Structure 1
Amino acid sequence: MSSIEQNIEQISSQMRMAQQKCGRPMGSVQLLAVSKTKPTQAILEAAVAGQVAFGENYVQEGVDKVAYFSNRHPDLALEWHFIGPIQSNKTRLVAESFAWVHTIDRAKIAQRLNDQRPKDLPPLQVLIQVNTSSEDSKSGACEEQEIFQLAELISSLPNLTLRGLMSIPANVASYDLQLAAFTHLAELKEALAKRFPNLPIDTLSMGMSGDMEAAIEAGSTMVRIGTAIFGARDYKSKPQTK
């Protein structure tokens, strides 16, 4: 068993324990392996171990990896999520390559992703990013009205399907503070689902290595784990996709 396979099993075990502890059904939380800066060989090891969903933060790096696995390992049928900030001049690449986008935070990006989604692909599954801590250094909608307005727009776009919300809360050690931030996002998701009953709003992308348990207790359906699976990142080296 490779170290990556062992790490996935350890994280999966922690997820099962957290679900059991708070009385949630087994399998109600998906593991998203954050593979940014990691080489294709590491992703392949994770995929062989059974991991299907991968998250990328950098557009060109992610596009290259999607193309590599589509061409070299189509049998794996991996699911690619874009979880980084999106510049308007990069929306076409994201729309053409990814199945999910977690970081829609303004109308312009939503409109461009819709307009540039290839007609032969299914609708892009999208999440609205929420800045739950109102930090200037983080992207995301802050006000409830802003979230609802963006959701209204997305609901009218045929090539996007709104699935829920995503956040990167403040990095705090207190479990109670973590839980409070995640509970707020869960409440916003429920309000969104009530406002738009015809949309499949069923996803909360929240929780990383340091706050995964609090996120699961609050209702996360997708946790984003990177270093705990792949090891420390080297941002100086370019991932190899050949």
Structure 2
Amino acid sequence: MPSTVVTLGVMETMPTGPSGETIDTPRHRALGSDSRVTILRAVRAADGGLTAADVAAGTGQHLSTTRTHLERLVEAGLLVKARASGGLPGRPAWRYRATGDGPVPAPYRSLTVALLEHLAPVGGDVREAAGRIGQDWGRHLAAADPDGDDPIAAVTRVLDGLGFDPAVQPDPGDGRTRVHLHTCPFLDLVGQNPDAMCGLHAGVIRGVLEQRGAPAGETILEPFGAPTACVVHLPRLAPADPDGTR
């Protein structure tokens, strides 16, 4: 029978081998530290995730020590990280969020894995390279979608087909549309290479917009931008004319 370990409110079942010995896994080794369990509990309690600076301030640990613990939890598959931009371009700090029960099955998964393997040894700006590939992919997916020319509808259909569970949000009054992505079907792959995966998905969205003749340059994918979702900030789109054109 497997044994159960309870550490500071985080319960994990330790698997056992055929002779009853406990199997030591990276996940359980990561939880062998009281500090990491405390960090994991804090991140799980924060709906929108936490930065290393947030965690350090909350625990009183040194920032470099906190980063080391966070990366260990990412390696163990207990946390996932992405750059939360606040809706602005640039390279902000990593934000960490607890993983769910596992990735949601989605089409093109093998293609995405192959992309990560290809980009790993290339070097340079991985996010930019993944974004260019994503744009080509997005244009292809949009071209295969026959349902009208509305760019926002096309974006949501493509994202829905990939398993992101998109939801268009009410207009906040600034002329930009925001789409919440409530599911990430590639969450475990984001943990392996967050810059590449987020760059790929942002590129897909830009490619869809380009194929529909809409501006794409101001598109931003904000990881963990809402308490329960990543947020896509679409550019300002001109209103449709009565004949359906823009």
TM-score range, shorter chain: under 0.3
Normalising by the residue count of structure 1, what TM-score does the alignment of the two structures yield?
0.24
Normalising by the residue count of structure 2, what TM-score does the alignment of the two structures yield?
0.24
Higher relative contact order (CA 8 A, sep 6+): 1
